[in-house]
Structure 1
Amino acid sequence: MVAKYLVVLLAITLLVWGNYNVSATEFVVGDAAGWNVPDSPTTYSSWASEHNFSIGDILVFNFTSGSHTVALVNKTAFETCNTDDTISVTSQSPSKVPLQEIGQLHFICTIGAHCSSGQKLTINVSDHSSSSSSSSSPPLRAPVSAPLSSSSPSNLTPLAIVSSASFVFFLLVDVLV
C-alpha cells in the first residue's frame, strides 16, 4: 500500500517538475545578427517589441568576445549611455542572462560609441502567465555550450515529458489495479 502512494507521489512530482521547466525560453538577442553595433538605432527596441519576456526565460547575447560587452545598467545610464555606471558587465560570449525579476532591464555595450550607435536593449519582464512570443516565428534557440546530463529536466522536450507522463500514468494504472 505504501508503495502505491510513493508511486503516485513520484508521478505528481515528475509532472509538476517537468511542466515548470518547459515554460522557460531562451531568446537570442538580435536573432541571427546577434549583439553587435546595429545598422539602425531602433534595431534592438524593434527586436524586443516582437517578444514577451517572463521570469525564468534566458537572454543569450552572442558576439565576438573582446569586441563587445553586455552591461546591465539602470535606466539613466541606459538613456545617457553612461558606461561608468554599470550594475554588471561581461565580455565573454555567449553571455546568458536569466530573467529573475518582474520589471524593466536595460543593457548596453560599454565599448567606444557602441551604445550611442544603438547597441542597447531594454526589455520588460512579466510573470509566467504571459510567456509567449508575439511573433509568428519562435525565437532562435541558443547554442548549448556544454552537454547537459541525461537526468537534467531542461534536457527534455515537451514530447519527452508527455511520453514520460504517459508512461507514469500507465505505470500507475498497472500498480493500482
Structure 2
Amino acid sequence: MINDQIRRPHSHSAALMGSNTKLILALLGLLITTATVATGYTNHTVGGDAGWFFHSKTNTSATNYTSWAANQTFSLGDYLIFRTTTNQTVIQTYNETTYRNCTTDDASDTDTFQYNGGNTDFDQSLTIEVPLTIEGANYYFSDAGDGVQCQRGMAFKILVRHGNGLPPSLNQPPPPPYVEAPSDPAQSPPVTINGESPSLNNKAAVGGANTGVMLCLLLFGVTSSLMTMMW
C-alpha cells in the first residue's frame, strides 16, 4: 500500500511533465512559424548572377529572363533587384499590349512606369529596386535600342501572389510625380521615376522583422514561464 501511494504521485507528475513538454514543443513550433511568416518578403535579383544586361555585339540578352522568372515565386511586398547599367532600361507595366509591343510610345501613365529614366550617360552601373505592389500579372522589359533589346529577350512576365500582403511601408505608396500632358492628346507617356531607388534594407522587410521580433519575444516569455512551472 505504501508503495502504491508513492507511485501514484510520481505517475501524475510524469504525466504532467509530458503534457507540459508537448505544450512547449508546440509553442516553439509556433514561434518558428511566426518568425518565418513575419519576415517572409524576398528580394529577387533579376537574371541571377547574369544581371539585367544586353550584349550589343551578339544582339542577345545576358540570360533567358522568361526561364529565370518561371523558377521564382513572387508575392506582394517582394522586390525585384535589377543589377544593370544605363545601357538598358527598366520598364514596368500592367498592360500586356504595351509589353508585347516592346515600346512605351502609346502607354498610359497609369499602368506603365520607367525607372531611372532620362540618364544620358552610358555604361554607368545601376541597381534599380522595384517593389511588387500589384497582385496578378506584372510585365518588365527594356525598350532601349528602339525596342530591339526587348524583342531580343530583355523582357519577362511574372505573376504576383497575395502572400503576406503588403507591409505597412508599401500599403499606401506615394502618388507618381506630376508629368505635364503631352501636346498630342492621343498619347500619354509613361511616368518616369527618377532618383535613387529604395534601399535593399527596405521598410517592408524592416516592418516585417519588427513584428516577428515582438511575437517571438511574447512566445518566448510564455514558454519560459511554462518551463519554470514544470521544473
Query: Smaller-chain TM-score range?
Result: 0.5 to 0.7
Distance in 1 (CA, whole Å) between partners of 2:143 and 2:62 is 16
Cross-structure match for 2:69: 48
* Percent of matched pairs sharing the same residue: 27
Aligned residue runs from structure 1 range 1-177, under 5 A? 20-37=37-54, 39=60, 43-64=64-85, 66-73=86-93, 74-84=95-105, 85=107, 87-91=112-116, 93-112=126-145, 113-128=148-163, 145=199, 152-153=206-207, 164=217, 167-169=220-222
Matched positions, count: 144
The Cα shift of 1:128 comes to 1.2
CA contact (8 A) 1:148 1:155 kept: no
Deviations 1:45-65 (A, max 9, x none): 10011011111211111101x
The Cα shift of 1:40 comes to 5.8
Distance in 1 (CA, whole Å) between partners of 2:153 and 2:88 is 13
Distance in 1 (CA, whole Å) between partners of 2:91 and 2:82 is 11
Deviations 1:45-94 (A, max 9, x none): 10011011111211111101x21111112211111212322611013731
Residue 162 of structure 2 aligns with an amino acid whose one-letter code is: D
Q: 1:80 to 1:153 in 2, by over 3 A?
A: closer
What's the C-alpha RMSD, in Å, of the aligned pairs?
3.8
With the length of structure 2 as denominator, give the TM-score of the two structures.
0.50
Q: 1:22 to 1:72 in 2, by over 3 A?
A: same
With the length of structure 1 as denominator, give the TM-score of the two structures.
0.63
